[in-house]
Amino acid sequence: MTLLTTWPESGPQTVVRRTSDPEAIAAALTPAGVRYEQWPLRETDTADPDAVLSAYAPEVARLTAEEGFVTVDAIALHPDGAPDWTRRTRPAREKFLSEHTHDDDDEVRFFVDGAGVFYLHVGAEVHAVLCERGDLLGVPKGTRHWFDMGTEPSFTAIRFFHEPDGWIGRFTGSDIASRFPGLDEIHAGYAA
């Protein structure tokens, strides 16, 4: 279930907003310039990037034409059964858990499968957007944010870039992300 939770930037002791209604999520995020959409679900081999891009070709073409993206790819991160899976994925998770911005590009992701949480630090609030299958989120360049894929990442996403070099983050140095519940806690029903 897609979920938006908004807290004051001071921490999660008080919930300002909590909703799973897609229209309410879009309405809450639009003033910050954040794009939120739900796309139709399609069956595809989520481990095959070409199959993923082919399955969602009409939506990818529409968004690329609207926004002028120059690079689109699909990434899959799913447990492979190896005993060192968590250890191997920890560096990727930790990289995105720190608050950062992007100077020259929006961060746009469509979740084909699995889940992740984008945290948007906008003004004096933090919006946690639990994205799941069918969700597209576009974080405007310059927006302070971070992302949690959980302790055992499992998702397939289509990524859109205006820059051919892809993801380039500028870390703020803030420890704000450490004050908020992660994907695992949100999935477990965190409700402070």
Closest-CA residue to 40 (of 60, 19, 20): 60
Determine whether 22 is exposed, middle or buried from the number of CB atoms within 10 Å of its CB (0-12, 13-18, 19+). middle
Q: Which two tokens stand for residue 121?
A: 């630090």
| Cross-strand bridge partners of residue 18 | 5
Residue type, 104: D
Report d(CA 184, CA 108) in Å as an integer. 22
Q: Is 100 marked within a binding site?
A: yes
Q: Is 162 marked within a binding site?
A: no
Q: Which two tokens stand for residue 90?
A: 């920890």
Q: Are 74 and 57 in contact (CB under 8 A)?
A: no
Q: Is 187 marked within a binding site?
A: no
Q: Is 78 marked within a binding site?
A: no
Q: Dihedrals φ, ψ of 149, to 5°?
A: -100, 5
Residue spans of alpha helices (H) in 71-138: 85-96
Annotated binding-site members for Ni(2+): 100, 102, 107, 145
Annotated binding-site members for Fe(2+): 100, 102, 107, 145
Annotated binding-site members: 100, 102, 107, 145
